[in-house]
Amino acid sequence: MIPAGDAASAIVDYARHHVMDYIIIGARASSALRRYLGSVSSKVVAEAPCTVTVVRSRRDTETGV
């Protein structure tokens, strides 16, 4: 169970606490503002203590978003 709050911090804290080896996280296409501010997946990639794979939805890859 991930507690309420900043999702990226919660995921990274959980991974550290439970000594996770690997995180797979989804990503969605986003607006320019969201890209500028950063996304949950990019923050997890930057801060995680383990390997992270980001998976985009099939729809996003087909439309090139």
2-36 residue pLDDT tens = 566 789 999 999 999 999 999 999 887 666 655 65
State how far the alpha carbon of 30 is from the alpha carbons of 2, 4, 7, 14, 19, in Å.
23, 22, 16, 25, 30
Say if 2 falls within a structural domain.
no
30-56 residue pLDDT tens = 666 556 556 888 899 999 999 999 988
Provide the domain limits for residue 55. Answer: 7-63
Say which CATH number the domain at 43 has: 3.40.50.620
Q: Round to whole Å and give the CA distance between 41 and 35.
A: 11
User: Closest by alpha carbon to 59, among 31, 35, 28?
Assistant: 28
Q: What angle do CA 19, 49, 52 make, to 5 degrees?
A: 100
pLDDT confidence of residue 53: 94
Say if 46 falls within a structural domain.
yes
Cβ distance 11 to 40 under 8 Å?
yes
pLDDT confidence of residue 14: 94
